[in-house]
Structure 1
C-alpha cells in the first residue's frame, strides 16, 4: 500500500510542476543552441566557424601521411602495407579511410560534410548582425567570410587532389532532398577553388597577430599561398593532356584539362607564388648559412618564425586519444618508451646528398663504409640513426645506454657467411631501440631509423605532450613553387630565377649552390623539394602530380646494422664500458620484408566509395575501380 501511495505522490508532484510551468517540456537545453540563436549571436557564429579548423586534422596524429608514400614506414601496419601495394577498391581504402588518424578526415564524406557547414554559413550570415569595429583591419563579419571562403576552397582542394573533378555544391541539402549531382570537370573545380581563394584574400587581413585570440586563424597570405599550391598542382603532368593519356583515357575532363595551354597554366602558378612573395610579410627563417642544420630543425620546434604562413597551435593539456597531437610519443624510439611509428625508409635516407652536393651512392666505398658522415645537414635535423645523439634515457634504460645514443644494431659474428647474433648475458645483443631489445620491443623500428623532425627533445614524450605548432603552409614551399613554375616554363632567364631561390633555401643549411640546367635541373629541384619538405604532407601529392608512382612505390628498404666481433668475445653491453662501440658497424641497405611497395596506375586517383556511388547515380567512377 505504501508503494502505491509513493507512486501516486510522485505523479501528483509531476502534474503540479507541469501546472505551475506549462512550458517546462519546451525548455531549451543549456548545452545546445537553436539555429536562430546561433545566427543572432556573433560569438556563436565564430564558434561555428572555429569548428571548420578541425575539418582536415593534422599530419602528426599517430599515422603520418608520410607512411602512405616513400618517406616512412608505419610500424603497426593497420592497413598501410595494403595501401602501399595499391590494394585500393571502391569498398576499401586501407587505413586511409578506416584508420584512426587524420587522413581519415580527408575522405569524400567528411570533406563534403565540412563543405555543407561552409554553405550553411553563407546561407545564414547575411541575416546576422555584427558591429563594425575593426580587428587587424577587418570587421568580424568580413573576417569570418574570408575564413569560410578559405575553408571551402581547402576542402575542395583535397577532394580534387584525391579524386579529380567532383560535384561543386554551393546549396544546403536537407535530409529529404535528392542528391543526384554529376561531377564537375577538373577545370571547373580548379576555377571555383581559385575564385573562393580570391574572395578569401579580399576579406581576410594580411596578418592576425595583433589580437592574441586570432593567432592561428587564416590570413590573406594563407589564402594566396593555398592558391599557389592549387595552381601548381593543376599545372602538373597528372592533369596535362599530353602527359596523362594512360591515366585519363576515359572521361579525361574529370581528371585533368582537355586543352593544352600548358604554358599558361604554369605562368598562372608562377604568378600565384609571386603574389605571396610580393606581400613582403614572410622570409626564410634565419636564411644565413648554418652547416649544423639548426636553422632548419628549429623551424619546427619554435612557436613562431618568419616563414610561418598558416599554423595550428596546441596545448599539452588537450588529449584526443590516438588522434592527439603527440608526435614525440608516436614516433620516438621504443628505447625511450615511445611507440616507434612512421620510421624513415632507407630509400628516403638515400635521397639526402653529401655535404659537397654530390649524390650519396652505396657503390661508393667511402659512402658505404660510413653512410651517415658528411651528409646534407637536413638529414641530421630530420632523422635519428645508429649512433645519433638524442635526449637523456629514462632511468630504467640507462643501464643499457649511458651515453644517450640511438641503438638500432645487433652484435654478433659471422660463420660460413651467415651473421649470428650473440648475447649480452642472457639477453640478445641487440640495441635497446630495436625489436629484439629489452625495452618494449614491439614498438621498435623495422627500418633502422626514427623520425627526429618535429620532435621536441626537451620533452619526455612518454609522459608529456609537446606544444610545437604544426605548419600547414610555410614560406619555403612558396619559394619552391615559384622555382618549379620557372623550371617548367623553361628558358635561360627562368632557370636562373629558379636556381636563385633553390640556392637561397640550400644556403640556409650550408649546402652548395646547384648549377644544373634542363632535365638535370628539374631532377635536382624535385629532390630538393623532397628533402626540404620531408614529412610535411607534400611528397604524397608530388609523387602523383609528377606521375612518378612507379618510381616511388618500389622496394621498401631498411638499414641493417651489424657489429662483427670475433667468436668468444665476452660482451658487457651494447657499447664498451668507455662508451665506444665494438668496432665499426657494417651497414647494409636491405629489403624490408613484408613492407614492400607495389604501384598500380589507378592509384593516381582514389576510388569513389561504393556507398557514395549508390547514393548518387550521376557519379562516374574513376578508372581502374
Structure 2
C-alpha cells in the first residue's frame, strides 16, 4: 500500500479533517477534537467548507506574501500569468517570473519563493480535493438536529464544486490527474495511472452536475448571511469553463477538434445564459463597466464572485502591485503595445485593416470603449490631486509622472502604458487615500457568453448557428458582450466564415478578459502560445515632443528585448521532481519533454 504521504500531504498542513491519529483521540484535558465532535457541530462543519474557499486565496496574486501557511513563508514573487502571456511587462527583473518566461519551468516549480501559478496552484488545489473528499465522507451522516437539509446540501454542493475546481485547475496546467473520490486513509492505494483528459473532464462535469443539484440557491448576491458562498450559477459557470477548456486543441486526442465536447461546451454555456434571463442574481451587467470590479458587494456579473474587504491602495496586496509608484504602488505592471493593438476602432474594424481609418499618430481616438476603461495612456484622465489631471507618458524617462519625478528604477511604466482596469478612479495614496471595494470575479458572465460564441462556432462551423432550441447565435453572444459597453456589433464582414469569426472571438477574449489571469490559459488551450510567445519581443511606445505631429507628440513603437521561450513541452507544466521521488509514485509519469 502507498504511504499516507501522497500528494495532498506535500502541503504539510493541519486542517480540520486531517491525519487519523489527530482526529481519533482526545485526551481529557486536551483541545483536540475527534471526528465525531466535528460532525456534531454545525460551525465546525461550515468551517471545513470555509477551508475550501481559503484554497483559492492564491488566485489573482501577482505578489504572494502569506506568513506561516505556504512554502514561501514571507517570500514574495511578482510572477503572474498576465506577464507570462505578454499582456503586461514588469518594470524590473524578478527571478521566478523571469524563469517562466525564459522557459525554465523546472526551476519555476521548485522556486523557493512562492510562484502562485506554478506552486500554489498545485498545493492548494490538491488541498481542495482532500478537504472535499473529507466532507463528502461524513456529511450524509449529519443529523437534522445539527443541520437542516438545505444547510447540509450547501456544504455537500460546495464539496463537489471545489473538487471539480481542484481538478480543473490542476489538469489545465499539469494534464489529467487520478480522480480521487474517496477520503484518504493510511491504507488507501493512491499509486494510480493518469487518465486521459477526456476521462478527466467526464469526472469534472459529473462533480459540477452534482454541485448544481445540491446547492440550494442560484446565487447569494446581497444575501445578509450567506454572501460570498457559492450557488448553482458558480457550478454552471465552472462546467462551462471546464468543457470549453477540454474541447480546445491542447487537450483533445491528437490536438484535433472534438465536436462532441464543443457541443457539450455550447450547451453548458447556454444553460447558464438561459438561467440568467430570468434571474436577478446573475447576468451580463449593463451598468458602468467599472462597477463589475469596484462595487460593494458585487454585481450580477460575478457568477463565481470573489470579494475583498475595502482597502486603501497601500494595503491591498494584489492591487498594490498593479499601481505605479507615484500613486502609492510598487510594481507598475505595464500593458504591451500588442495588447493595445487588439482594441478595434469604435465601429468594429481591427486597426490593422486598411478600412479602419486608424492613424498611428493619433492612436487613441475612436477606439473600443473598453480601451478607455482598461488602459491608461498618454493624455488619459487620472486624478491624483485634482479632478481633471491627465497622465503624462512622454519619454525621458519613459512613464515617469512628470509632475512628480521619481528616481526609482521600477514602479512606473516600461511600455508607455499603465493598467486602469480594476483600479477605482481616485484610488491612490495621495489626496484620495480612501478605502475601496475591489472585487475581481473568478468567473464572470461575459466569459460565459464568449464560451458560448466560441463553442457554437467550433461545433457547427457557422457563426450564425445556435444550440438546438436556443434563441442566441454565436454572433449574437459576441455582440451582447460588446453592446453592453457601447461597442458596435461585430462587423458583418467577419460573421459569415468560421475561421474569420474564430479570429474575432479570440480577439474578444483578450480584450474583454485582459488582466484577469485568463489569456495565458487561452493561448495554451488554443495551442498558439508557441506562435505568440516563443522568441518574441513585445513592444512599447515612445512619446516624444513634436510640434508638427497631430497631437503635439510623436509616437514611436519600440522593441523591448526579454528572453522568452515557449516550446512544445511547455503546453504542460512539469511535475516537481521531488514529489515524484519522495512520494514513490511510479504511475505518476513526468510530462513529455521534462
Distance 1:219 1:318, change over 3 A: farther
Aligned match for 1:235, one of 215, 232, 247? 247
Q: 3-state DSSP class of the match of 2:321?
A: helix
Q: Is 2:384 the counterpart of 1:446?
A: no
1:508 aligns with 484
* Deviation (angstroms), 1:56: 2.4
In the alignment, is the contact (CA less than 8 A) between 1:563 and 1:583 conserved in 2?
no
Decide whether the 8 Å contact of 2:49 with 2:159 is kept in 1: yes
Unaligned runs of 5+ in 2: 1-25, 64-77, 467-471
Task: State the alpha-carbon separation in 2 of the partners of residues 464 and 597 from structure 1.
Answer: 39
* 1:65 Cα offset (Å): 2.7
**C-alpha contact (below 8 Å) 2:345/2:368 kept by paired residues:** yes
Please say if 1:386 is aligned against 2:378: yes
1:123 maps to which of 134, 137, 150: 137
Q: How does 1:470-481 map to 2 (within 5 A)?
A: 470-481=440-451
| Paired position in structure 2 for 1:165 | 176
Determine the C-alpha separation between the residues in 1 that align with 2:146 and 2:185. 33
Q: Which residue of 2 aligns with 1:358?
A: 349
Q: Among 332, 336, 341, which residue is 2:323 paired with?
A: 332
- Work out the CA distance in 1 between the residues paired with 2:176 and 2:398: 51
Corresponding position: 1:208 with 2:208: no
Distance in 1 (alpha carbons) for counterparts of 2:332 and 2:124: 25
> What's the CA shift for 1:539?
0.8
SS of match in other structure, 1:547 = coil
* 397, 408, 424: which one aligns with 2:393: 408
**Are the equivalent residues in 2 in contact too, given 1:42–1:128 (CA < 8 A)?**
no
Q: SS at 1:79's partner residue? A: helix
Q: 1:206-355 residue pairs with structure 2 within 5 A?
A: 206-209=218-221, 211-243=223-255, 262-279=258-275, 280-281=278-279, 282-286=282-286, 295-303=288-296, 304-316=298-310, 325-355=316-346
Cα RMSD of the aligned pairs, angstroms, is 3.2
Structure 1 residues 277 and 447, CA gap change in structure 2 (3 angstroms): same
Q: Alignment partner for residue 620 of structure 1, among 560, 579, 589?
A: 589
Aligned-partner Cα distance in 2 for 1:317–1:430: 29
Alpha-carbon distance change, 210 to 360 in structure 1, aligned in 2, over 3 angstroms: closer
Deviations 1:270-297 (CA, angstroms, capped at 9, x unpaired) = 111111122132332117xxxxxxx323
Number of residue pairs aligned between Structure 1 and Structure 2 = 529
CA distances 1:162-189 after superposition (whole Å, capped 9, x unpaired): 1111111123334676642221221221
The answer as to 2:132 corresponding to 1:114 is no
Greater percentage in strand: 1
Task: Map Cα deviations across residues 411-432 of structure 1 (whole Å, 9 max, x no partner).
Answer: 5xxxxxxxxxxxxxxxxx7663
Q: Distance in 1 between matches of 2:133 and 2:30?
A: 26
Aligned to 2:514: 534
1:68 paired residue number: 84
Q: Which residue of 1 aligns with 2:69?
A: none
Contact in 2 for aligned 1:313/1:469 (Cα 8 Å): yes
1:81 to partner: Cα distance: 2.5
**After superposition, what is the alpha-carbon deviation per residue over 1:506-565, rounded to whole angstroms, capped at 9, x for unaligned?**
112222222212211111111011101112222111101111112321222222222258
1:388 CA displacement: 1.4
Tell me how far 1:300 sits from its aligned partner: 1.5
When residues 385 and 152 of structure 1 are mapped into structure 2, their CA distance, relative to the original with a 3 A threshold, is same
Counterpart residue number, 1:552 = 532
CA contact (8 A) 2:325 2:411 kept: yes
Give the C-alpha shift of residue 325 in structure 1. Answer: 4.2
Are the aligned partners of 2:464 and 2:475 in contact in 1 as well (CA < 8 Å)? no
The 1:98/1:193 distance shift into structure 2, 3 A limit, reads farther
Deviation at 1:216, TM superposition (A): 1.6
Q: What is the DSSP-based 3-state SS (H/G/I as helix, E as strand, rest coil) of the residue aligned with 1:590?
A: strand
Alpha-carbon distance between aligned partners in 1 of 2:260 and 2:83, rounded to the nearest angstrom: 34
- In the superposition, the TM-score normalised over structure 2's length comes to 0.81
The answer to whether residue 461 in structure 2 is matched with residue 490 in structure 1 is: yes
1:607 Cα offset (Å): 0.8
Match of 2:97 among 72, 77, 80: 80
Q: 1:315 to 1:26 in 2, by over 3 A?
A: same
CA deviations on 1:63-99 (whole Å, 9 max, x unpaired) are 443122121123343322221222222x5338xx654
8 Å CA contact retained: 2:399, 2:417: no
1:296 aligned counterpart, secondary structure = coil
Residues 410, 459 of structure 1: CA spacing in aligned structure 2 closer, same or farther, 3 A cutoff?
closer
Post-superposition shift, 1:59? 0.8
After superposition, the C-alpha distances for 1:182-239 in whole angstroms (9 at most, x for unaligned) are 2122122111111111000000022224742211211111101110111111111112
- Give the number of the structure with larger relative contact order, counting CA–CA contacts within 8 Å between residues 6 or more apart: 1
Decide whether aligned partners of structure 1 residues 241 and 188 sit closer, same or farther in structure 2, where only a CA change above 3 A counts.
closer
